[in-house]
Structure 1
Amino acid sequence: MTYDTPLLRGRDLAMWQQGALILAGTALIALAAQIAVPMWPVPMTLQGAAIIAVGLSMGSRMGALTLLTYLAEGAMGLPVFANGGAGLAYIAGPTGGFLVGFVLMAWIAGLGARAGVLGMTAAALAAAYALYVPGLAWPLAVASVFGVESGWAASSAASLWSGWMQPFLIGDAVKAVLAALLVSGTLRALKR
């Protein structure tokens, strides 16, 4: 498979190389997920910045595949989620929509992989904020449809805004911009 992303421009990667990149990406994301500031219901971690960096450096397809692999690792019981979380029950919990949304996040960030620093930053910000769609849809509606009964399920839109989104908006913007600057700076250094 040929990739035309900035870090891999013009290279044909063997299957084992693709697998190694995916596993390295999941390891980076899992490590970043453990660096957390405890907040409820979703801890603020460096996970989002790592996901954006993976998308920007690998492109949309490889980035999304990396996140699908990350979710599979967590579903199989590997402690890759925030605070060492793992398992299907964790995925079905309050952060389930965000976890599934990570795939979308990496894919959107990856769309900016061939752009300059401004395009990368725009893609990173779009990815960071697109995460809120599945993240908030899960407790607002999806959990109820699937019969999940918990204090966080079927929350009101106002409580989701004040507790699940508003406190994280500025931090997510800062992490997205830093990830874009880091990846674009790395690319400039590699081109020299």
Structure 2
Amino acid sequence: MAAPIELLWAFIGLILTIGGTLVEASITSPPWSWDTSGIQAYPLGVSCQIGAVLLASCLGGRNAGVLSQIAYLALGLAGFPVFTQGGGIGYIREPMFGYLLGFVPGAWICGLLAFKAPPRLEALTFSCLCGLLTIHLAGLVYLIFGYLFSWVNTSVPLLKAVLMYSYNPLPEQLALTCAVTVIAFTIRHLMFY
């Protein structure tokens, strides 16, 4: 049975993941140029979804992270349009569904490692990177088996799909991981744990 605080963090993680799906990650212009041209935002080309998964796990731990992602998958597969391109049971045939499945073990790994040591930047960075790697590995395995057994809907070759879903967004997701690490570090120190 999950503790009430874990359920609260799981709910927060679910809300963050749904909201992160809708929000595009951006960076700002450097602070030294703010006075001349103002603050300008530059889109990274990825949503904040993976960042939300990692943040929820860094703050709530492995159980809250896993619960939030199971709830997210259940909502999406039940037909609620919480995934990037909608929802419904047919989404399992989408090539990116493996990455969504990877949210569960990714959240578990990230949450486990985030609470193994005191909340230091390097420890939280390591936990987030391990979570991100787990998500990508699950997505790649799903893609490969989906192509081998022809259950994914796609008209592009496997190599192009790997580039499209793993390789191309990785630099932006790494930047997002850096931001998540700093946010998690700050919040964990403000909350005194």
Shorter-chain TM band:
0.7 to 0.9
1:89-108 equivalence runs, <5 A: 89-108=90-109
Q: 1:8 maps to which residue?
A: none
Distance in structure 2 (CA, Å) of the matches to 1:66 and 1:129: 19
Q: 1:136 maps to which residue?
A: 140
Q: Is 2:136 the counterpart of 1:148? A: no
- The percentage of counterpart residues that share the same residue type is 22
Q: 2:163 maps to which residue?
A: 162
Residue segments in structure 1 that go unaligned for 5+ positions in a row? 3-12, 38-42
Q: Report the AA paired with residue 18 of structure 2.
A: A
Deviations 1:64-92 (A, max 9, x none): 12111110111111221125x11111233
Q: 1:139 touches 1:152 (CA, 8 Å); kept in 2?
A: no
Q: Report the AA paired with residue 151 of structure 1.
A: T
1:36-185 equivalence runs, <5 A: 36=24, 44-83=46-85, 85-114=86-115, 115=117, 116-145=120-149, 147-148=150-151, 150-152=153-155, 155-156=157-158, 158-185=159-186
Q: 1:189 maps to which residue?
A: 190
Distance in structure 2 (CA, Å) of the matches to 1:149 and 1:189: 44
Normalised TM-score (structure 2):
0.78
Q: Report the AA paired with residue 127 of structure 2.
A: A
Distance in structure 1 (CA, Å) of the matches to 2:52 and 2:189: 19
Distance in structure 2 (CA, Å) of the matches to 1:58 and 1:92: 31
Q: Report the AA paired with residue 105 of structure 2.
A: L
Give structure 1 regions of 4+ aligned residues with deviation exceeding 4 angstroms.
Answer: none
Q: 2:13 maps to which residue?
A: 25
Distance 1:18 1:149, change over 3 A: closer
Shift of 1:31: 0.6
Distance 1:133 1:149, change over 3 A: closer
Cα-Cα RMSD: 2.4
Q: Report the AA paired with residue 151 of structure 2.
A: V
Q: Report the AA paired with residue 72 of structure 1.
A: A
Residue segments in structure 2 that go unaligned for 5+ positions in a row? 26-44
Normalised TM-score (structure 1):
0.78
